Amino acid sequence: MPDKFDLVVIGAGPGGYTAAIRAAQLGKTVACIEKRSGKALGGTCLNVGCIPSKALLDSSELYDVTVHKLARHGIKVDKVGLDLATMLKRKDDVVKTLTGGIAGLFKKYKVTPFYGAGKLAGGNKVTVTTDDGKVTELEAGHILLATGSDSIELPFLKYDGTNIVSSTEALTFPEVPKHLIVVGGGYIGLELGSVWRRLGAKVSVVEFLPRILAIADGEVATQVQKLLTKQGFEFHLNTKVTGATTGRGTVTVNAEGKDGQKLALEGDRVLVAVGRRPHTAGLGLDIAGVEADPKSGKVKVDTHFRTNVSYISAIGDIIDGPMLAHKASEEGVVFAEQLAGMKPHLNYDTIPSVIYIWPEVSSVGKTEEQVKETGKPYKVGKFPFAATGRARAMDEIDGFVKVITDAATDRILGVHILGARASELIAECVAVMEYHGSAEDIARCTHSHPTLSEAVGEAARMAYSGLPINF
């Protein structure tokens, strides 16, 4: 007799584990299957994504501050050294604590974990196959697919796990690369490039498009490129990688510019960060008759996360939308609450995104390019951090806040922040946009002084009244 559950979740990433916990809190019997080795819960995000990358970004930022910025604050440090092994171990400890925390939450809320590969077995059945080949069959009232995504591999630049790698290996380089070549100018490449640049690597980014951060606001992306160039990044835009040759501990990346100019970059590590694709291999979609988009591989769902098979749903990176952890986990909550008969709603227009380079980048809503495309009149309010007391006090004056509004109604259409702690500042804008607020709503909220959030208030004041006070 198979074990029976109201809900069987396949994949214990931020989408899957959140859905499992929420459904269990709402009275459902829940199983959650995870195939990652070492019985590690938390998915890409906790194990090889958001958390380890941010742990290294925070450590490397402290190192960079110590080496380059403390002297300006009048702090003398005798000899600064890098203990990379300790830095990597701290990152691993952070991951271990957090993944262990999920196991604790499963216990607390009575979610039953199964460790092995989950597969749709037809009807309401799911099988779990462990590494040693043991198969367990589960029966589910409802099945949730939350199997996430994998790094895309380029056919002419195959991963070798050492010299040509994905983001996973770039989180564990045992020594600082001499020259790291990053293929792809998206957020993962720039974040991991920042880690190793701060620790002493030369970093070159090769990007096929004429700009980095393809989906960010254009003005922000241009400014980011300038700031990263000042930090030592080298950019090759409009440049297509055509292949690579590996020597003894070296890789030569061959590329060609749009103008036909050939480029050969020699480095010791190549990080390929050209995007991610949904992970559905071996999941048995064909057995269950679940439809996926033939081009993107994403599982097709309706607005309630239901696939074409009524008792199978999907959330997170394997369905449409931004591949972000908080998008996956919000979908998990909404899915579970809908399963329990509640009527929650997720507003995809107000999902923020953050790039944890320095200074940080955050955004919510439409870019100026997207607003322009609608043809409707709009306003832009911009305020530089250099004009705020707190940024001056911190000696972090780079960047600005940009608020884009509907010219007729003052409703906020998008906010883009480049600056210190932009990751935290965006939350206020998300909340106001969620309530369909205006720039005047933000401007009339009192912002503590002196804080970086004053720049958000002033950019909003600029958008609705044409004039900030402090600039």
Ligand X SMILES: Cc1cc2nc3c(=O)[nH]c(=O)nc-3n(C[C@H](O)[C@H](O)[C@H](O)COP(=O)(O)OP(=O)(O)OC[C@H]3O[C@@H](n4cnc5c(N)ncnc54)[C@H](O)[C@@H]3O)c2cc1C
216 sits in which H/E element: none
The minimum distance between CB 57 and ligand X, in angstroms, equals: 9
Which range, of 44-52, 204-212, 407-415, 458-466, touches ligand X by CB under 6 A? 44-52
* Residue whose CB is less far from ligand X, 14 or 457: 14
Residue 400 corresponds to which tokens in the numbers above?
């600005």
With CA atoms as reference, report the closest residue to 437 among 382, 384, 365, 367: 365
Choice from 5, 7, 9, 13 touching ligand X (CB under 6 A): 13
Query: Mutual orientation of helices 218-231 and 187-198 as an angle, nearest 10°?
Result: 20
The CA distance from 149 to 292, in Å, is: 14
Which range, of 30-38, 250-258, 392-400, 407-415, touches ligand X by CB under 6 A? 30-38
Q: What is the Cα gyration radius of the chain?
A: 24
Choice from 323, 404, 425, 452 touching ligand X (CB under 6 A): 323
Choice from 316, 359, 365, 399 touching ligand X (CB under 6 A): 316
State the residue for tokens 């070296």.
250
Choice from 8, 10, 439, 459 touching ligand X (CB under 6 A): 10
The CA distance from 165 to 176, in Å, is: 14
* Residue whose CB is less far from ligand X, 44 or 388: 44
Choice from 15, 113, 177, 189 touching ligand X (CB under 6 A): 15
Residue 149 corresponds to which tokens in the numbers above?
């995504």
The minimum distance between CB 316 and ligand X, in angstroms, equals: 2
151 φ/ψ angles, rounded to the nearest 5 degrees:
-65, 140
Are the C-beta atoms of 461 and 379 separated by less than 8 Å?
A: no
Q: Omega into 155 within 30° of 0, i.e. cis?
A: no
Residue 141 is which amino acid?
Answer: G
Query: Strand, helix or coil at 334?
Result: helix
* Residue whose CB is less far from ligand X, 327 or 382: 327
∠ CA 297-302-307 to the nearest 5 degrees? 60
* Residue whose CB is less far from ligand X, 120 or 157: 120
The minimum distance between CB 330 and ligand X, in angstroms, equals: 11
Are the C-beta atoms of 13 and 146 separated by less than 8 Å?
A: yes
The CA distance from 203 to 188, in Å, is: 14
Give catalytic status of residue 449 as yes or no: yes
What b/e string do you get for 184-197 counting C-beta neighbours within 10 Å, with b at 16 or more?
Answer: bbbbbbbbbbbbbb
- Confirm or reject binding of residue 35 to ligand X (CB under 6 A): yes
* Residue whose CB is less far from ligand X, 128 or 462: 128
Interacting residues with ligand X between 179 and 238 (CB under 6 A): 188
Choice from 14, 113, 365, 468 touching ligand X (CB under 6 A): 14
The minimum distance between CB 19 and ligand X, in angstroms, equals: 9
The minimum distance between CB 10 and ligand X, in angstroms, equals: 5
* Residue whose CB is less far from ligand X, 93 or 131: 131
Q: Distance of alpha carbon 327 from its chain centroid, rounded?
A: 10
Interacting residues with ligand X between 67 and 86 (CB under 6 A): none
Which range, of 13-21, 75-83, 379-387, 459-467, touches ligand X by CB under 6 A? 13-21
Mask of contacts with ligand X, 85-124, x by CB under 6 A?
A: --------------------------------xx------
Choice from 167, 367, 388, 405 touching ligand X (CB under 6 A): 167
State the residue for tokens 């290294």.
56
- Confirm or reject binding of residue 147 to ligand X (CB under 6 A): yes
With CA atoms as reference, report the closest residue to 124 among 107, 144, 98: 144
The CA distance from 239 to 208, in Å, is: 5
Positions annotated as catalytic residues are: 449
Which residues contact ligand X (rule: CB under 6 A)? 10-16, 33-36, 43-45, 49-50, 53, 117-118, 146-149, 167, 188, 279, 282-283, 316-317, 323-326, 328
